[in-house]
Amino acid sequence: MEHYNMNLTLKVWRQQNTRTAGRFETYKVSEVSSEMSFLEMIDVLNERLTSEGKEPIAFDHDCREGICGSCAMYINGRPHGPWHANTTCQLHMRAYKDGDTIVVEPWRANAFPVIKDLMVDRSAFDRIVQAGGYISVNTGNAVDANAVAVEKEKADESFANAMCIACGACVAACKNSSAMLFMSAKVAHLSLLPQGAPERNTRVVNMVAQMDKEGFGSCTFQGACESVCPKEIKITSIARLHGEYLSAGLTSNK
């Protein structure tokens, strides 16, 4: 891989806290190596700001390997930036060239209030899980792990949905700020497994109710969520959720 250095202009959303209004600030960063990750580029800028006595840009991050779901930047109009199936922390600077201007914003959604700069409050996701995103089994209750065979295909599909990292990119990409992709991934993960069957109906009904309560918008099947999902969760999971929701309604009407 050829390495190169570049000079960039960053326009970054700065907002002191939830109560105050925010604005864009412009920063020049020079000598950025194509081998850096996007967050390392921000680190360098932050070190500069800090040693000048200014407050560094606040952002969520932890694992920096695309799995914890902490990082969340809206980069040039796209959650997590230009690369397919990627998180902000895994974006590397070879995606850019000398002279580029990069606009960086937080996720924008009513259900995700800005805490500071690029950091938002995603606790709504935890509350949706509390509403039913689990299998009710106390520690010690389990039978032998191989007592129930699970079709490999179903187990694999369940896993593909369980890979969701709850970053919220789907919400940020959706013009209605819907959380359907996130929620449908959880519903699919659990309902595809025999262990999840007993709570299938209540789970989907309660989770949907909580989602509405949190102020997420409704899904109009535009597919923006699917195209930005770092874990490639498929929009077919949303179709599955609709099916589950309908059949839950039918069963409870009986």
Sheet holding 23-33, edge to edge: 23-33, 5-14, 101-105, 74-75, 78-79
Q: Tell me: does residue 184 bind ligand FES (CB under 6 A).
A: no
Nearer to ligand FES (CB atom), residue 86 or residue 201: 86
- By CB under 8 A, the residues from 155 to 194 that bind another protein are 155-156, 158-159, 162-163, 165-166, 189-190, 193
Q: Where are the alpha helices (DSSP H) in 140-233?
A: 152-162, 169-173, 180-191, 200-213, 224-228
Smallest CA-to-CA distance from 220 within 188, 173, 158, 168 is with 173
Which one of 4-12, 20-28, 55-63, 109-117 is the stretch in contact with ligand FES (CB under 6 A)? 55-63
Q: Which does 103 bind (CB under 5 to 8 A by kind): ligand FES, another protein, none?
A: none
Q: Does 79 bind ligand FES (CB under 6 A)?
A: no
DSSP-assigned states of every residue in 47-92 = HHHHHTTPPPPP---SSSSS-S-----EETTEET-SSTT--GGG-B
Q: By CB under 8 A, is residue 29 in contact with another protein? A: no
Q: Which does 71 bind (CB under 5 to 8 A by kind): ligand FES, another protein, none?
A: ligand FES
SS3 track for 103-114: EEECCCCCCCCE
> 169 or 207, CB closer to ligand FES?
169
Whose Cβ is closer to ligand FES: residue 165's or residue 219's?
165
Binds another protein by CB under 8 A, chosen from 143, 175, 253, 254: 143
Does residue 25 contact residue 14 with C-beta atoms inside 8 Å?
A: yes
Give the x/- contact pattern for another protein in 55-94, rule: CB under 8 A.
Answer: xx-x-xxxxxxxxxxx------------x-xx---x-x-x
Q: Are 104 and 81 in contact (CB under 8 A)?
A: no
Please tell me whether residue 66 binds ligand FES under the rule CB under 6 A: yes
| Cβ atoms < 10 Å from Cβ of 86 | 20
Interacting span for ligand FES (CB under 6 A) from 28-36, 69-77, 176-184, 200-208: 69-77
Name which of 110 and 220 has its Cβ closer to another protein: 110
Do 163 and 214 touch, CB atoms closer than 8 A?
Answer: no
Residue 159 contact among ligand FES, another protein, none, beta carbon within 5 to 8 Å by kind: another protein
When the beta carbons of 45 and 72 are compared against ligand FES, the nearer one is 72
Q: Which helix (H) or strand (E) holds 251?
A: helix 236-253
DSSP assignment letter at 227? H
Residue type, 2: E
